[in-house]
Amino acid sequence: MVGVVVMSACSNEQNSNSYSATLRIAAASSLGDVLPPMLEAFSNEFSTGYEVSYGGSGELAAQVRHGAPFDLVFFASFDSVSRLAADGLLQSEVVTGPRNRLVL
């Protein structure tokens, strides 16, 4: 599984001109162990706060599709990113971020 980061996920006009000192982040549940230390380091370096909502990639994609005001989205599935990009719902670049593996 691959964690994919989508910056400025919402293309909602209402949200595009607003600024918040707190980053609004949605993240795949599978990144719950690896993401907090990275976010804490980022927060300390750039003096910004953050709020994280964890869930399944499909659930997070649905929230983005319905206008949720996320600044960053970490998906565990590239399919979710592809569908949102194809529908023109992503404002910025897509980059491969933290990775995890499914262990049985």
- Does residue 27 fall inside a structural domain? yes
Given the structure tokens 């971020």, which residue do they identify? 97
- Does residue 102 fall inside a structural domain? no
Question: Among 1-15, 31-45, 84-98, which is the least confidently predicted range?
Answer: 1-15
pTM of the prediction? Answer: 0.71
Tens of pLDDT, residues 38-85: 999 989 998 889 999 999 989 999 999 999 988 888 888 788 888 888
- Does residue 103 fall inside a structural domain? no
Structural domain of 36: 2-97
Domain count, the chain: 1
Tens of pLDDT, residues 21-49: 789 999 999 889 888 999 999 899 988 89
The CATH number of the domain holding residue 23 is 3.40.190.10
Contact 98, 31 (CB under 8 A): yes
Q: Using CA atoms, how far apart are residues 85 and 71, in angstroms rounded to an integer?
A: 15
Question: Among 6-15, 43-52, 68-77, 95-104, which is the least confidently predicted range?
Answer: 6-15
